[in-house]
């Protein structure tokens, strides 16, 4: 591989010296290379080739059951001053952490190949894009990075002799003794470290081969490290989908939405509107980088090139565009395997196949009483295969953002949707965003936690400072055009536990109202929470929904919100004086409005 980038060459040599791989391989990103690596992983028993007649060029992979999701308790932000990392991160001293890690990395690639993956987050050459280089001993990582980012020779060319890049070091932490047979999913389950050094900036990941722990362009770079760069440089790195919305008259806007992990970003990003004449197109499903252009317009790119989507629940009914995207050239991790060489997961079809191989490589039948696919099973698939990919999805200039949505899983209290009258109140709403936990992170599922801007596990610095950064955005350029801010909740439940709102394609009805608000037409009414859709303003034509359910979805639960206020105060208190005074004031004002509504 041809590069004269001295910093890169020196770093690769240092890592090789430390990790002692058998060989070093520079990835060029070609199709031929990909085929070769996939065949090698197949021979090693890591990849299982799916029937090419059903899903060409696609593979199933089963991870070690001890390595199935992001590990937030093993994720660290290492800064000289602990205050920088904030209470939202596990802090470690950078010198001590590097010391600990160097001991673990010593000789950790013995018997393996060190792959060098130059990658671009964002269209190569875009002013919003950034370059990283991942060094890894996992073929799985190489093949997934090739789908999720732009990798190889073109990136090295863009990097040039003295271009800047983020160092991303990864090892599964499982060296092989001479002659030792490898396992299908090597990892070091008891020694996982997902470490970030924003001051370098660099990422040192050890022990896990799964998702955001190992595909370092994603959460580690594009969110944790990028958020610290964005703060310094005056832009935004967010856990948001980006979608284009065209009304029946042909007018188009773009919206971004921050929902926590496994709370509906991919589904909304690829939504198939049920409202006649409306069109939705996908720019990205997970990460959004936004910068002001010369006219004060916030423009967004999707730094990724693929989707690492939650498989269970994905079906022709819930997300037909995702199903059509992964028809080929895809990796399926921890999905179940059908006897005829395809994949299956819970709710892909109404009735499960009679016989499967589960993600634990065990025989499975519908009577087994366990899940065939892991709840955090994922597909990795190229964005360009998405039938509703937006024509501008690779525009280096990005797309203009007119609205930002916050949301999460809230079975009670939070209405279907409402709008913040100001950017400051919108920032406040993001700062008190809460959602039930999901299988996307190791730990318990269904626990309500505050997850501001869906960034709790991904903000690489003190979240109080992150809120201040949000508040500072309108003042950063003359004539800043800030997006409108909305809060949505697809996950309201009735007292008897059913979904009050049908969700998925029907969410287009809420998007229509948001579109109309952006245009200055949609009808809203003031409430203690902000601007609620006026009665009838959400188009329910053709939707079979009880009037009572609709009323419940759009009512302000004053008592419920008042009950939450002490919890919100406790959430803020964790950040101490890092919480901007303007947000404390918004909280006091909200409480006062709720109390007034209660006595009215
Ligand atoms: P990450 O990739 O982890 O960041 O997740 P995500 O935010 O992209 O979530 P995704 O769209 O994959 O949705 C996760 C789960 O939420 C799936 O099981 C979906 O079926 C479910 N879901 C998504 N949208 C809706 C909705 O509108 N209503 C309901 N009830 N469930 C939904
Ligand atoms: C998430 O957990 O938000 C994901 C999956 O998008 S992972 O890449 O593993 O972080
Ligand atoms: Mn995500």
Each residue's pLDDT, cut to its tens digit, for the chain (600 residues) gives: 689 999 999 999 999 999 999 999 999 999 999 999 999 999 999 999 999 999 999 999 999 999 999 999 999 999 999 999 999 999 999 999 999 999 999 999 999 999 999 999 999 989 899 999 999 999 999 999 999 999 999 999 999 999 999 999 999 999 999 999 999 999 999 999 999 999 999 999 999 999 999 999 999 999 999 999 999 999 999 999 999 999 999 999 999 999 999 999 999 999 999 999 999 999 999 999 999 999 999 999 999 999 999 999 999 999 999 999 999 999 999 999 999 999 999 999 999 999 999 999 999 999 999 999 999 999 999 999 999 999 999 999 999 999 999 999 999 999 999 999 999 999 999 999 999 999 999 999 999 999 999 999 999 999 999 999 999 999 999 999 999 999 999 999 999 999 999 999 999 999 999 999 999 999 999 999 999 999 999 999 999 999 999 999 999 999 999 999 999 999 999 999 999 999 999 999 999 999 999 998
Nearest CA to ligand 2 atom 10: 212
Cα 541 to chain centroid distance, Å, stands at: 33
Q: How far is the CA of 219 from the centre of ligand 2 (A)?
A: 7
Please name the residue whose Cα sits nearest to atom 20 of ligand 1: 313
Distance CA 473, CA 483 (A): 11
Ligand 1 atom at shortest distance from the alpha carbon of 378? 2
- Report the SS3 class of residue 450: strand
Alpha helices in 122-216 (DSSP H): 139-148, 153-159, 211-214
CA of 261 to the centre of ligand 2 (A): 6
- CA–centroid distance, 357 to ligand 2, in Å, is 25
Task: Choose, from 187, 263, 282, 417, the residue flagged as catalytic.
Answer: 263
Q: H helices within 389-461, ranges in order?
A: 423-431
Cis peptide before 99 (omega within 30 of 0): no
> CATH: 3.10.20.30, 3.40.50.720, 3.90.228.20, 3.40.50.300. Which one for 238-305+392-599?
3.90.228.20
- Domains of the chain by residue range: 6-46+73-234, 238-305+392-599, 307-385
| 242 and 404 Cβ atoms separated by less than 8 Å | no
For residue 583, which phi and psi values (nearest 5 degrees)? -75, -40
Q: What is the residue with the minimal CA distance to atom 4 of ligand 2?
A: 261
**Ligand with the closest atom to the CA of 285:** 1
Q: In 48-109, which residue ranges form alpha helices assigned H by DSSP?
A: 82-85, 94-105
Q: How far is CA 431 from the centre of its chain?
A: 18
Contact 128, 122 (CB under 8 A): yes
Q: Is 507 in the pocket of ligand 1 (CB under 6 A)?
A: yes
Residues with CB under 5 A from ligand 3 (ion): 261, 286
Going by CA atoms, what residue is nearest to atom 13 of ligand 1?
Answer: 264
CATH topology (fold) of 307-385: Phosphoenolpyruvate Carboxykinase; domain 2 (2.170.8)
Burial class (CB in 10 A: 0-12, 13-18, 19+), 428: buried
The CA–CA distances, whole Å, from 375 to 68, 142, 351, 408, 575 equal 9, 24, 18, 18, 32
Per-residue confidence (pLDDT) for residue 545, from 0 to 100: 96
In this prediction the pTM is 0.97
Length of the chain: 600
**How big, in percent rounded to 5, are the helix, strand and coil portions of the chain?**
30, 25, 45
Supply the angle between the helices 31-43 and 139-148 in degrees, to the nearest 10.
140
Q: What are the two backbone dihedrals, phi and then psi, of residue 343, each rounded to the nearest 5 degrees?
A: -110, 160
Q: Is the CB of 286 under 6 A from ligand 2?
A: yes
User: Which run of H or E residues covers position 286?
Assistant: none
Residues contacting residue 600 through CB under 8 Å, at least 6 positions apart: none
Q: Do domains 6-46+73-234 and 238-305+392-599 have the same CATH topology?
A: no
Annotation marks residue 263 as catalytic: yes
Q: 137: alpha, beta or left, given left = phi > 0 and alpha = psi -120 to 50? A: alpha
Phi, psi of 90 (to 5 degrees): -80, 115
Q: Is 212 in the pocket of ligand 2 (CB under 6 A)?
A: yes
Task: Say if residues 579 and 588 touch (Cβ distance below 8 Å).
Answer: no
Q: Is 211 in the pocket of ligand 2 (CB under 6 A)?
A: yes
User: CA geometry: angle at 455 spanning 216 and 421, to 5°?
Assistant: 145
What's the topology of domain 6-46+73-234? Phosphoenolpyruvate Carboxykinase; domain 1 (3.40.449)
Interior/surface letters 195-224, b for 16+ CB within 10 angstroms, e for the rest: bbbbeebbbbbbbbbbbbbbbbbbbbbbbb
Confidence at residue 1, expressed as pLDDT on a 0 to 100 scale: 62
Give the atom of ligand 1 at the shortest distance from the alpha carbon of 312.
Answer: 18
Can you tell me which atom of ligand 1 is nearest the CA of 504? 27
- Cross-strand partners of 76: 90, 195
pLDDT on residue 470 = 99
Q: Residue 559 pairs with which residues in a beta bridge?
A: none
> For residues 243 and 399, what is the distance between their CA atoms, to the nearest angstrom?
9
Cβ atoms of 243 and 257 within 8 Å: the answer is yes
| Angle subtended by helix axes 423-431 and 581-599, to nearest 10 | 90
- What's the rounded Cα separation, in Å, for the pair 228 and 140? 28
Buried b (16+ CB within 10 A) or exposed e, 112-151: bbbbbbbbbbbbbebebbbbbbbbbbbbbbbbbbbbbbbb
């Amino acid at each position: 591989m041809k590069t004269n980038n001295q910093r890169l060459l020196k770093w690769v040599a240092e890592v090789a010296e430390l990790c002692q791989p058998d060989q070093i391989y520079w990835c060029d990103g070609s199709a031929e290379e990909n085929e070769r690596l996939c065949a090698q992983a197949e021979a090693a028993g890591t990849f299982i080739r799916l029937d090419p007649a059903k899903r060409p060029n696609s593979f199933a992979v089963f991870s070690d059951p001890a390595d199935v999701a992001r590990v937030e308790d093993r994720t660290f932000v290492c800064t000289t001053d602990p205050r920088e990392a904030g209470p939202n991160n596990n802090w470690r001293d950078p010198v001590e952490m590097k010391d600990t890690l160097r001991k673990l990395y010593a000789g950790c690639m013995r018997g393996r190949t060190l792959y060098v993956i130059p990658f671009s987050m964002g269209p190569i050459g875009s002013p919003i894009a950034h370059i990283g280089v991942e060094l890894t001993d996992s073929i799985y990582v190489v093949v997934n990075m090739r789908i999720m980012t732009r990798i190889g020779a073109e990136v090295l060319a863009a990097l040039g002799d003295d271009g800047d890049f983020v160092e991303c070091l990864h090892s599964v932490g499982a060296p092989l003794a001479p002659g030792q047979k490898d396992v299908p999913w090597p990892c070091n389950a008891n020694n996982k470290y997902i470490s970030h050094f924003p001051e370098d900036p660099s990422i040192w990941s050890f022990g896990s081969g799964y998702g955001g722990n190992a595909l370092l362009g994603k959460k580690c770079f594009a969110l944790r490290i990028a958020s610290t760069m964005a703060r310094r440089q005056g832009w935004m790195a967010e856990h948001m989908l980006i979608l284009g919305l065209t009304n029946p008259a042909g007018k188009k806007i773009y919206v971004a939405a921050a929902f926590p992990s496994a709370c509906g970003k991919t589904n909304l990003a690829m939504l198939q509107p049920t409202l006649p004449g409306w069109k939705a197109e996908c720019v990205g499903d997970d990460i959004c980088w936004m910068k002001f252009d010369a006219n004060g317009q916030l423009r967004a790119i999707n730094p990724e090139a693929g989707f690492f989507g939650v498989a269970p629940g994905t079906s022709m009914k819930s997300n037909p565009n995702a199903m059509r995207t992964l028809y080929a050239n895809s990796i399926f991790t921890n999905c179940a395997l059908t006897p005829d060489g395809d994949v299956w997961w819970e709710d892909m079809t109404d009735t499960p196949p009679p016989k499967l191989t589960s993600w634990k490589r065990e025989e499975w039948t519908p009577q087994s009483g366990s899940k065939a696919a892991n709840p955090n099973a994922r597909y990795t698939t190229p964005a360009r295969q998405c039938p509703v990919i937006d024509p501008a999805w690779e525009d280096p200039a990005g797309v203009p953002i007119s609205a930002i949505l916050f949301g999460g899983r809230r079975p009670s209290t939070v209405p279907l949707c409402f709008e913040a009258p100001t950017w400051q109140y919108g920032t406040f709403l993001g700062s008190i965003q809460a959602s039930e936990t999901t299988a996307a992170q190791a730990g318990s599922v269904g626990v309500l936690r505050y997850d501001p801007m869906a960034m709790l596990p991904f903000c690489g610095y003190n979240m109080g400072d992150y809120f201040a950064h949000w508040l500072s955005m309108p003042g950063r350029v003359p004539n800043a055009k800030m997006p409108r801010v909305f809060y949505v909740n697809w996950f309201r439940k009735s007292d008897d536990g059913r979904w009050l709102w049908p969700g998925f394609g029907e969410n287009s009805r809420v998007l229509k109202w948001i579109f109309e608000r952006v245009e200055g037409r949609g009808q809203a009414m003031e409430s203690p929470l902000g601007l609620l859709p006026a009665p009838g303003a959400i188009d329910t034509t053709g939707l079979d929904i009880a009037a009572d359910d609709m009323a419940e979805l759009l009512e302000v639960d004053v008592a419920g919100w008042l009950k939450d206020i002490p919890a919100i105060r406790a959430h803020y208190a964790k950040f101490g004086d890092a919480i901007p005074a303007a947000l404390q004031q918004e909280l006091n004002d909200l409480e006062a409005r709720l109390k007034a509504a209660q006595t009215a």
